[in-house]
Amino acid sequence: MTMMENLVETLKSKVKALKKSKSKKPYVKMDKSASVKVEIRSRKARKIIEKTLKAADRPGDVSSIS
């Protein structure tokens, strides 16, 4: 049973070490650049346009809009 106890103690110490290291940030989170923001907006706009065009192709079908 001492092997099991040693294993448990080792795991406990590793978990404690991980918890302590989490408090320090390993990297600085960067903000999105203006070009990335524009790209995201244009992708969303393209999706909306595509959805609208599909709905326009079927004017009688209301369910294709949502």
- Taking all residues of the chain, what is their mean pLDDT, rounded to a whole number? 83
For every residue of 3-64, DSSP letters joined together read HHHHHHHHHHHHHHHHHHHHTS-SSPPPPPPHHHHHHHHHHHHHHHHHHHHHHHH-TT-GGG
pLDDT at 25: 64
pLDDT at 43: 96
Predicted confidence band at 19 (pLDDT cuts at 50, 70, 90)? confident
From 16-20, 24-28, 30-34, 38-42, the region with the lowest mean pLDDT? 24-28
